[in-house]
Structure 1
């Protein structure tokens, strides 16, 4: 299989072309050195390679050279094994994390390029860090669903979560005992409602702010915005977005109060 791939000029993710020398700051290991650094036996390392849990090493003649990426992968495998995952499940998780790397997934999710007015801080996580955040509930199904919704996108050997606030809130809810699968299902529904709320404010901006910032005629014609227009619009959004968020927060808080009262208040007595 590896010979066929090499003959076709194909490489696995992380594999270097044959004969490619590492960069000056790249640490490399022989197989025995890598096993020692990872705290496993050379036999275990060979077994992981046979199961295709590691990218192929760089070869120089008959010597196989491994790098920090291989060491991090071994540490991730160890962490997932400690959480009760099987090797088959770990292989699926690693495949899910790497899926879409070259398929335009990030572009389809709308996060391929930095958004000019994005406010949420994105967080890059290794597979091990992701499992730590969610108490080991990052099985392939949950990872795939999080990617489908748009919470996660692949980034090399890691993933990027689109919002630090969402990451912290959802991981805290998992620690409170709510299964991640339940949270993801709720998140899918919440995202649909959030999109509807955002459309309400977007329409207000479209009707009231754009004509003022860009001029009535240009806004209607959809003419390209200049750098000056972008600066004006950014300034307007910086003023208005916190107010929109405060209004949404207040409405959600009031709605939760109404729902909780309906659930907890005793029902009225039946008519006499």
Structure 2
């Protein structure tokens, strides 16, 4: 395990490429978590350095300091990765770790405090120190592709909430059907079959919609 490093204010500012005055300003704006105090000396660590680099990257992408402060507050009060994943990682979905600037790059101009709060509430995102964890690579790739096509992230998240409700209902339907006539072991074994039925029905439903639009 790497040894935890700590920095005095002057060293932290130098490593982050900013002035001590700017560092003090960020601290006053609550863009940084409080340092560890040892008497009159303030000690900062790599989490503070990562946060400063994130602030610089977000400023380069056009975010305002007020907006960054709101995002930082949302990150600091979001559910951590343990709460997000529960007792274990998803059995088939692959979680993705991102820095805040990587998330901003995925959803150019759409990572607002409101959208971030909605994603945290849905359980799509959690935090792990200065990293963000998305619950599913497939959901992340799908939602970012929709945003690139011009669909607002707020609407993608609202659709995700509705899909979640229908998916929960489908999962309950298949679970009840299988457990009424088979065993719990069969539930795990027949999981791919349930997914195939849902995917086929969705494909047919999309065909019907597309024909109506033609």
TM-score, normalised with respect to structure 1: 0.71
Q: 1:32-181, aligned counterparts within 5 Å?
A: 32-101=10-79, 107=83, 111-114=85-88, 118-181=91-154
Q: CA offsets per residue over residues 132-170 of structure 1, 9 Å max, x none?
A: 222241111001111222212333433322111101111
CA offsets 1:64-86 (integer angstroms, 9 cap, x no match): 22111001000111122122221
1:24, distance to aligned residue in structure 2 (A)? 7.1
SS at match of 1:118: coil
Kept after mapping to 1: 8 A contact 2:175/2:187: no
Bigger relative contact order, structure 1 or 2 (CA pairs below 8 A, ≥6 apart): 2
CA RMSD, Structure 1 to Structure 2 (Å): 2.3
Q: Number of aligned residue pairs: give it.
A: 214
Q: Which moved more, 1:87-96 or 1:148-157?
A: 148-157
The question of 1:200 aligning with 2:178 is answered: no
Deviation at 1:45, TM superposition (A): 0.8
Give the superposition deviation at 1:50: 1.1
Does the C-alpha gap of structure 1 residues 24 and 162 become closer, same or farther in structure 2, counting only changes over 3 Å?
closer
Please tell me whether Structure 1 or Structure 2 has the larger radius of gyration of its CA atoms: 1
The verdict on how the C-alpha distance between 1:203 and 1:237 changes in structure 2, with shifts beyond 3 A counting, is: closer
User: What secondary structure, in the 3-state scheme, does the structure 2 residue paired with 1:146 have?
Assistant: helix
Partners of 1:58 and 1:65 within 8 A in 2: yes
Q: 2: distance between equivalents of 1:101 and 1:171?
A: 22
Give the stretch that moved more between structures: 30-39 or 148-157: 148-157
Q: What runs of 5+ residues in structure 2 fail to find an aligned partner?
A: none
- 1:246 paired residue among 169, 191, 196: 196
TM-score (norm 2): 0.89
Distance 2:140 2:129 in 1: 20
Aligned in 2, Cα 1:135/1:114: closer, same or farther, shift over 3 Å? same
- What's the CA shift for 1:113? 1.7
Q: Secondary structure at the match of 2:190?
A: helix
